[in-house]
Amino acid sequence: MSIDIKEVTHIAKLARLSLTGAELELYSTQLSGILGYVEKLKELDTGGIEPTSHVLDLKNVMREDRVRPSLPEDEVLANAPDRKDGFYRVPRIIE
Amino acid sequence: MELYELGLAGALSLIKEKKASAREVLDSVFTRIRNVDGRVKAYVSLTEELAYKMAENAAGPIAGLPVAIKDNMCTKGVRTTCSSKILENFTPPYESTVTERLFKAGCSLPGKTNLDEFAMGSSTENSAFFTTKNPWDLERIPGGSSGGSAAAVAAGECLAALGSDTGGSIRQPASLCGVVGLKPTYGRVSRYGLVAFASSLDQIGPITKTVEDAAIIMNIISGHDPLDSTSAPIPVPDFTAVLGKDIKGLKVGIPKEYFVEGMDKEVEKSVRDAIAHLENLGAVPVEVGLPHTPYAVADYYILATSEASSNLARFDGVKYGFRAEGKDLMEMYMETKARGFGAEVKRRIMLGTYALSSGYYEAYYGKGQKVRTLIKRDFEEAFKKVDVIATPTSPTPAFKIGEKTADPLQMYLSDIFTISINLAGIPAISIPCGFTSGGLPIGLQIIGKHFDEETILKAAHAYEQSTNWHTMRPAL
Fold of A5-42: Histone, subunit A (1.10.20)
| Helix, strand or coil, per DSSP, at residue B116 | coil
- Mean pLDDT across the stretch A68-75? 92
Report which of B423, B354, B414, B309 is spatially closest to residue A35, judged by C-alpha positions. B354
pLDDT of residue B57: 87
- Distance separating alpha carbons of residues B85 and B77, to the nearest angstrom: 18
**CA B374: distance to chain centroid?**
25
User: Contact at 8 Å (CB) between B179 and B208?
Assistant: yes
Confidence of residue B86 (pLDDT cuts 50, 70, 90): very high
**Which residue of B370, B409, B413, B451 to mutate against A (max A Cβ within 10 Å)?**
B370
What phi, psi does B265 have (nearest 5°)?
Answer: -65, -40
Rg over CA atoms, chain A: 22
Facing residue for B186 by CB, picked from A16, A55, A71 = A55
Q: Return all residues near A66 (Cβ < 8 A) that are at least 6 apart.
A: none
Tens of pLDDT, residues B379-404:
999 999 999 999 999 999 999 999 99
User: Contact at 8 Å (CB) between B82 and B72?
Assistant: yes
Whole-Å CA distances, B254 to B46, B287, B379: 42, 5, 12
pLDDT of residue A94: 79
Burial of A93 (0-12, 13-18, 19+ CB in 10 A): exposed
For chain A, the 3-state helix, strand and coil shares in percent, each to the nearest 5, are 40, 5, 55
- Interface predicted TM-score (ipTM): 0.95
Given the candidates 3.40.50.2300, 1.10.3720.10, 3.90.1300.10, 3.30.420.40, the CATH classification of the domain at B3-252+383-471 is 3.90.1300.10
Q: Which residues numbered 337-396 in B keep a CB inside 8 Å of some CB on A?
A: 337-338, 341, 346-347, 349-351, 353-354, 357, 364, 366-374, 376
Active-site choice (B145, B149, B190, B306): B145
Tens of pLDDT, residues B19-78:
999 999 999 999 999 999 999 999 999 999 999 999 998 999 999 999 999 999 999 999
Residues in chain A: 95
Tens of pLDDT, residues A41-60:
999 999 999 999 888 888 88
Strands, DSSP E only, in A45-88? 83-84, 87-88
Tens of pLDDT, residues B280-290:
999 999 999 99
Q: Are strands B43-46 and B111-113 parallel, antiparallel or unpaired?
A: antiparallel
Question: How many Cα atoms are found within 13 Å in the side-chain-facing hemisphere of B217?
Answer: 32
